[in-house]
Structure 1
């Protein structure tokens, strides 16, 4: 099954007001996210073109000295639509660890890693 998809950041933010993607580029680029060694994650699931980046919302993946948050993990084309929702109501710290323990380069691998994160 394909992840839930929104055509734009605005459409995603309307559906997930508690876990928004910042619309200010400087703020969004400051989020701690995952880019597969800056090359991006290849979408081998939905067929969208280009590389994807993973965002942990709200606020990015928690750093080592930050408290955990519950939120949503999404994939975007470097902050542009479509927005693919990969996990909802999960520990962002656990989701970050699941991803960085595997270092996936394909979206299918990201989805497998996230299946082990409890909601």
Structure 2
């Protein structure tokens, strides 16, 4: 299991560390985000042992839809916005992250992580 993913016990702890890419506190707003959840079954955690089916969230604001401008942000996995929150990618194009994830339709967290690993990192990293 990969214990190197940044991990936060709650949305509040994550939001304190990533104030520019927050998980919405409001459940309705959070559920309205364009997220990936493997055909509504959730992504099986085979990396860190949370014992949960996880949702992959694109923050801030969800993955951009067609016709929406792209944003740079953070990709996380969580149990529907609750802790633990696992940071999978930082400072990435949310559109590119959405495309690489949905292009593979992963069912396991390791597959999501591998897909995101193919994204180019910003030059300053």
TM-score by length of 1: 0.98
Structure 1 residue 32 displacement after superposition: 0.2
Specify the alignment match of 2:64 in structure 1: 62
1:75 aligned onto 2:77: yes
Tell me by how many angstroms 1:118 deviates.
1.6
* Number of aligned residue pairs: 119
RMSD across aligned C-alpha pairs, in angstroms?
0.7
Alignment match, 1:27: 29
* 5+ long unaligned stretches in structure 1: none
Give the gaps of 5 or more residues in structure 2.
Answer: none
In the alignment, which residue of structure 2 is the partner of 1:100? 102
Q: Shift in Å at residue 97 of structure 1? A: 0.3
Q: Secondary structure at the match of 1:102?
A: coil
d(CA) in 1 for partners of 2:113 and 2:89?
Answer: 8
Q: Which secondary structure does the structure 1 equivalent of 2:103 belong to?
A: helix
8 Å contact kept, 1:91–1:118: no
4+ runs of 1 displaced by more than 6 Å? none
Give the TM-score normalised by the residue count of structure 2: 0.93
- Cα distance in 1 for residues equivalent to 2:48 and 2:58: 20
